[in-house]
Chain A
Amino acid sequence: MDKKVILAILVVVVIGGIAYTWINQLETLPGEKVERTLIIGTTMDIRTDNMFADYYFGIITLLSHDRLFRMDENGSIMSELVEDWEVSEDGVVWTLRLVSNATWHDDKPLTAEDVAFSINYLKEKVPVYKSHLRLVERAEAVDGYTVKVTLKEPWFRLPLNLMVVRVIPKHVWEKVDKPLEYHDEDRNVGSGPFIYEGFDKASGTIMFRTNPEYRLGKPSVDRVVFKLFKNTEAMIMALKKGEVHTVYHYARGIDPVYVPALNESGIKFIIKPNFGVDNNLWFNCKKYPYNVTEFRKAMSFALNYENYVKSIAAGYAMFPNAGWIPPVWAHYKETEKLHTNLSEAMTILDSIGFKDFDGDGWRELPNGSDFTMRILFRTDLPESSRLAELVKRDLESVGIKIDLTPADSPTFRQIVDVERGHEAFISRTTTWGMMMWAGYGTGYIDARNIGWSNVDDPEFQEVVDQMLRTTDEGNMRELVHRLQDIYAEKLYIIPLYWGEIIQPYRSEIEGLSYDPMYGILSKDTWFNVKVGS
């Protein structure tokens, strides 16, 4: 009987194998042999194809929706639908002149009415834009291709915020009262180089086809398909075996640990400096002892930056400066390089009264009570837990007891953004984040904005206020230099390394462009990329 069972199993396996091979020879996977289809793998959590309800779907609608402004490869702001613009002397009224040859995917012309409608509608109906456009009073069409945007107060960074605004057709959306709940067929009609085709939720694919009528000409690929993965390892396998041509994640490249294995498989890479800072040690500067500059300095001397560059960034990084802002930004100023000096760290800690009074191996507060530094790290950032362990080891080597607390994204937001109850944490900054508020990361630092560092230092805030007001490039340069000096001197935040973005792609494709904000979903990619058959 046993033998019969084993035999039966073997027969089933052999017949199944033969049948599968036979079927395999008969047909090929859809999309596999389609020429000029660019297939992009992503682990972004896309749930629905409503750009206002789904943050990550909103990102990939860059293919189907043109914006007013965009960013080029060097991080400079370029016009997209705006041909040129002027600002009134008081900085309150902006006049935008639009290109006259833009059309919607349903062949209707894109006019100033659509742009004015988009700004007013998004500001009123879509939560995220209420913040992006909070200083906009109203937008109105002056004529067919001129829009006047009136602000509540002078705001010279308006083009930057308009860079995230997707221009939407008035004739579709004017009848929609709840945009986050709108799922009709025309919800993704745009004016961009690709037309949205659909989201196959079962197979996890989102499809776009070329827009032959696009005002700048036909893109160089016929279709773009996003293949969704729920785990990075499977996506990397898919890249190696050619199931996808490249991979994408907003504001992130791949983890450097995958590079050697991908290299062996002949995968190529675009390596770009990151405009954001990959990982930082943040302090809540309103809490003791993190509000003590000397304490933060001692922490900076205890950290082993070389180890982070080697072990976490696998060498795809630079040692950071105390001035925090990476050298890729305009107006970068060379400040002191951060370095490890354990004896200096211990001397500073001793001098400010952090000593091991009870001989248990850990430093206590100056009043003799126990001290444990609670460091939060994000479980949604893959390298965060490894890095947190290294930071813990480094700080413990100078006698600071560390408690590492993992937090998923909502928990992290609750603690850091809502309660501001954090002591210290490890997290990154994005390109967009670095540009917020007065730019140069000020939004993250200033307690009046996102304020992860919770800083209300008058010296810092004065510089920020001047940066917000100035229109003079020379003055801005001076202010940004001063800002970096303040960052270096006060160390509100310690950059752990300045990383590079690693963008892998298969050798069958060439011509990918990379912009600092949206990576390979750059406008230049669609007209240069070539896909081999």
Chain B
Amino acid sequence: MKEGLTLRFVRYTLTIFLIISINFLIPRMMPGDPTIYLLGEDVYAIAPELVEELRRSYGLDKPLLEQYVIYLQRMFCGDFGYSFSFGRPVLEIIAERLPTTLLLTLPPTIVGSLIGLYLGTLCGWKAERTIKKILSTGMLVVYSVPPFWLGMLFLLFFSLKLNLFPSGGAPSGENIQNFVSHVFLPFITLTVFVASHNSLLMRGIVTGTSRGEFVLTALSKGLPYTMFLHRHLIKPSLPPFIVYAAMEFGFAFSGALLVEIVFSWPGLGLTMWEAVIARDYPLLQAIFVFSALTVVLANGVADLLCVITDPRLRRA
């Protein structure tokens, strides 16, 4: 057990180092120059000396290796640098946008995972029933629809046709109505999407689990349905679900780009996209590193949870 944990720790540390290094290289391999954003399209071409001056001021004229060493040194000191395109320190931007991101992604991830877990279990047990087949098909249809398109449909119907909700933006201020009206549509869009693929995943797992002999034994003991469901169907099906759900929690921190675009929601996904467009290396690197760390962390938590929920893994 102890050795296993140590091995995992080493593995994760190596993964993080690799991610940090790749994060440095990828933005710099993209064509385009970050100074374009600062100079504007009409000036960039006619003032090469300004381009050079700006590149110097942001340290972009240094050799790549030197830039990499500076990047590592700063990162280990917690300094993620200064965003060219926002004109502010990177950490300040992330700190500002993270709560908005989590407001968008975390509740749907939690609610969607729980709905998916429960609905998938119900559909997986005695899956041949017509109502369950209809439910599963419905979930498959929802899962096949891109979330941004689902968001556009919701906007069209609830915002334009019924005029119940605004057409975009995150809530601001303490007005409850303002809060609900801005959060509702993105919440429903993401929840429906997360629930659909979680339920399909859980349905598959439960269908397999329900063939186990212990299930027959549990049924033959005459256990009440609810107890049977929780103790003998959901519990043994949990480990693969936990791994998947944990990944989703990790990704929740990096935002939901397409849904953020549809609902003009200023989250980290959108920030990352804006950083790509502006070739804002420091911001891009910081968001990549942050997202990767949360996914790695979520994986680690998932490993631990699996060990806790599955005695066989503890013994292994």
Interface residues of A (CB under 8 A from B): 1-2, 5, 20, 23-24, 26-27, 29-30, 45, 47-48, 50, 53-55, 127-128, 130-132, 134, 180-181, 183, 200-205, 227-231, 233-235, 237-238, 240-241, 243, 408-411, 413-418, 430, 432-433, 436, 443, 449-452
Contacts and interface: CB of A to CB of B under 8 A. Distances in A.
Contact of B177 (A24, A127, A408, A452): A24
Contacts of A235: 167
Contacts of A23: 176-177, 180
Contact of A204 (B173, B177, B264): B264
29 contacts: A1-B229, A23-B177, A29-B181, A30-B173, A30-B178, A47-B85, A47-B86, A48-B88, A53-B87, A128-B38, A130-B47, A131-B50, A183-B87, A203-B170, A203-B171, A204-B168, A227-B169, A229-B168, A230-B262, A233-B155, A234-B155, A234-B168, A237-B167, A238-B167, A238-B168, A409-B32, A410-B31, A413-B33, A413-B41
B38 to A, nearest CB: 6
A131 B40 CA distance: 11
Given A410-B36, A413-B36, A237 B170 contact: no
Nearest to B278: A410
A410 B131 CA distance: 52
A512 B117 CA distance: 55
Contacts of B34: 410
B87 A181 contact: yes
Which residue among A201, A233, A433 has the maximum number of chain B CB atoms within 10 Å of its CB? A201
Contact of A410 (B33, B42, B175): B33
Interface residues of B, number: 71
A30 B118 CA distance: 39
Given A410-B37, A415-B31, 12 more contacts: A23-B176, A45-B274, A48-B88, A55-B40, A127-B35, A127-B39, A128-B43, A204-B266, A228-B264, A230-B260, A409-B36, A414-B32
Contact of B53 (A45, A127, A228, A430): A127
A201 B173 CA distance: 12
B140 interface: no
Please provide the 4 A-B residue pairs with the shortest distance between their CB atoms, ordered closest to farther.
Answer: A410-B32, A53-B87, A417-B45, A203-B172
Contact of A409 (B96, B266, B277): B277
A1 B122 contact: yes
Contact of B225 (A1, A205, A433): A1
Interface of B: 30-47, 50-51, 53-54, 82, 85-88, 96, 100, 118-119, 122, 131, 152, 155-156, 159-160, 163-164, 166-173, 175-178, 180-182, 184, 225-226, 229, 260-266, 270, 274, 277-279
A412 to B, nearest CB: 8
Contacts of A132: 43
Contacts of A48: 86-88
Contacts of B266: 201-202, 204
